[in-house]
Amino acid sequence: MSATEFDPKAFRRALGNFATGVTVITATTPDGQQTGVTANSFNSVSLDPALVLWSIMKTSGSVEIFEKASHFAVNVLAADQINLSNHFARPSDDKFANIDYEKGFGDAPLLPECAARFQCENYQRIDGGDHWILIGKVVAFDDVGRAPLLYHGGAYSAVIPHAGVKPKQSEASESGQQKNEQRLNNNLYYQMIQAVKRYQASYQPLQLATGLRTIEARMILTLNDFGSLGATELEQRIGMADQDLHAALETLQRKQWIAIETTEGASDGEETLSLTDAGKDQAETLWKVANDRQQEVFGQFSEEELATFHKVLNAVK
């Protein structure tokens, strides 16, 4: 087989356009060793029989546990479970210290407050290059329906419901259409979502035109506000996973926008990150893009109207 010709980092980045949910997949061996791995490779396969799959890196320290266990459990994370996602994305000798869980089939740990959980018995293992593809037969599930945590472009994200496509006039009864629109126009949640979506649709291309992904832009703006931050603190402030933090840092360092120093005397080699002068210029460019867009959208309102808008937003957020 010929070697892959393209840059693996660029490939990974391109794959990041495909938005996914985030799961923690857990298992326990017959002699009681347990693990959990954050995974976004989870997907459904078949309804009859009920099959799901995910893939695990062959080099993962958890491969052996999944091999020996009879079952695995898929915990589909909810939007407020970023800490759990980051926790189970790091290698650790005891991943369940200080973590709440109950035991399911094959003693696979089940996490509370998830959006959904699927308990599976091992069905098939397929060689998938540098990953093993693990297929499970679902033997039980919980469908809680909490808002899910999403993962897109190397960053955590949340769902904004889509309003749907307006039916053609000929397809909708006129009075029904009017009643529907009136009710939606009176619903502030619906109005806020519509406004955010329109703002995002017009703002995002401008931000992407600076050559930065949303996550990289957020990193630059955060460092610009705080002066310098340790890698862990930056990761927590932005709410992103370790592996993506490093990929984004590499990009920004290559562009010479970020300087990384190993903190003096720090035994764990914690790195301190700060913006270079060119990075600070980039932050100003990003703020200019944001402010120009804000002016275009909100410039039509008086100071008094905007003050009321701020007051309402601050009170409800």
Can you give the binding site for ligand FMN, defined by CB under 6 A? 22, 35, 37-41, 54-57, 60-62, 85, 88-89, 91, 151, 241, 243
Is 107 or 244 the residue whose CB approaches ligand FMN more closely? 244
Is 38 or 119 the residue whose CB approaches ligand FMN more closely? 38
Contact 275, 287 (CB under 8 A): no
Contact 272, 232 (CB under 8 A): no
Is 132 or 257 the residue whose CB approaches ligand FMN more closely? 132
Q: Tell me the one-letter amino acid at 99.
A: I
Contact 133, 53 (CB under 8 A): yes
Report the distance separating Cα 90 and Cα 80, nearest Å: 19
Is 151 or 257 the residue whose CB approaches ligand FMN more closely? 151
Contact 149, 77 (CB under 8 A): yes
> Least distance in Å: CB of 164 to ligand FMN?
29
DSSP helix/strand/coil, 273: strand
Is 123 or 199 the residue whose CB approaches ligand FMN more closely? 123
Q: Which whole-number Å values give the CA distances from 178 to 171, 174, 183, 194, in the listed order? A: 13, 6, 9, 18
Task: For tokens 């050559």, name the residue.
Answer: 211
> Least distance in Å: CB of 157 to ligand FMN?
11
> Least distance in Å: CB of 56 to ligand FMN?
4
> Least distance in Å: CB of 279 to ligand FMN?
25
> Least distance in Å: CB of 55 to ligand FMN?
6
